[in-house]
Chains A and B, each alone.
Chain A
């Protein structure tokens, strides 16, 4: 399958995503440049982590206006699978493809640590190969990952099963202690109504090899192939 990984000025994890998809998972993975409009016929798009445009104004606010993002929005509207990780999640929220927003961690600290997230739904392109309730060990590294949305949006997300991942402890419970950034309802990732766009703060591309400490991140990418 052909994947595209977008590089914005300030992207950090684009190469990790290309390595994970290409070298580790044996996919055809191409780099997409923020100034281009051509998605090169890819069948899935990944928006990587980093600090696109220096996080100026708000994280993801400037990146959403780049030429490639116009094409990514069209691709997503047409049902194409799009995964945003960390800064990619912030960009998806800013671009309106996903509801809510990501604000400064409640602790005010940048957090870089392993987390456990519980799969809340398998009705997305990126969790179709998981089981509901399954716990994945995936790292985070961010300063602005606290997911917020108004009460009506949260209710819709819960009712429609659009919360994809929640931070949990070892026992699989979404406790306050297991919440690394203060995200409302321990939300680590959400999806759109169609389930083809998924955003999450953790970095599955950093968890694709035992050498890195976990292979759980593979499941998100392999889910797309499962269909």
Chain B
């Protein structure tokens, strides 16, 4: 099973990288860009777990290491391979 994990800066946290990217997109005349937030994407391959177990374990991994909940939010999806 594959977990696709998205870690993004919290809404309340200033994201200067996202801002710089938005400015660059505007410079390329993409005037429709309202906002950019930049985060991380991780793929974690699991073995030997049921879907429910995987859900619980990945959630725990995110809270304990993969995301810093002071500054980041996370979400993930599980994909059967």
Contact = CB atoms under 8 A, between A and B. Distances in A.
B69 to A, nearest CB: 9
Nearest to A64: B65
B75 to A, nearest CB: 17
B65 A61 contact: yes
Interface string A92-119: 0110000111011111100000000000
A61 B14 CA distance: 20
B70 A105 contact: no
B13 interface: yes
B68 A101 contact: yes
Given A57-B65, A61-B65, A108-B20, A150 B14 contact: no
A100 B16 contact: no
Contacts of B9: 103
B66 interface: yes
Interface string B3-32: 000000100111011001000000000000
A81 interface: no
B71 interface: yes
B70 A106 contact: no
Interface string A135-152: 000000000001011100
Interface residues on B, range: 10 to 19
A108 B12 contact: no
B66 A150 contact: no
A94 B16 contact: no
B65 A105 contact: no
Contact of B17 (A65, A101, A104): A104
A150 B12 contact: yes
Interface residues of A, number: 20
A107 B16 contact: yes
Given A57-B65, A57-B66, A105 B16 contact: yes
Contacts, number: 36
A46 B19 CA distance: 35
A101 B65 contact: no
A103 B14 CA distance: 9
Given A104-B16, A108-B17, A108-B20, A58 B68 contact: yes
Interface string B47-61: 000000000000000
A88 interface: no
A100 B17 contact: no
Contacts of A108: 16-17, 20
Given A101-B68, A101-B70, A103-B71, A148 B17 contact: no
Contact of B71 (A105, A148, A182): A148
A105 B19 CA distance: 13
Given A93-B70, A103-B71, 19 more contacts: A57-B65, A61-B65, A61-B68, A65-B65, A94-B68, A99-B70, A101-B68, A101-B70, A103-B13, A103-B14, A104-B16, A106-B14, A107-B16, A108-B17, A146-B14, A148-B70, A149-B70, A150-B12, A182-B16
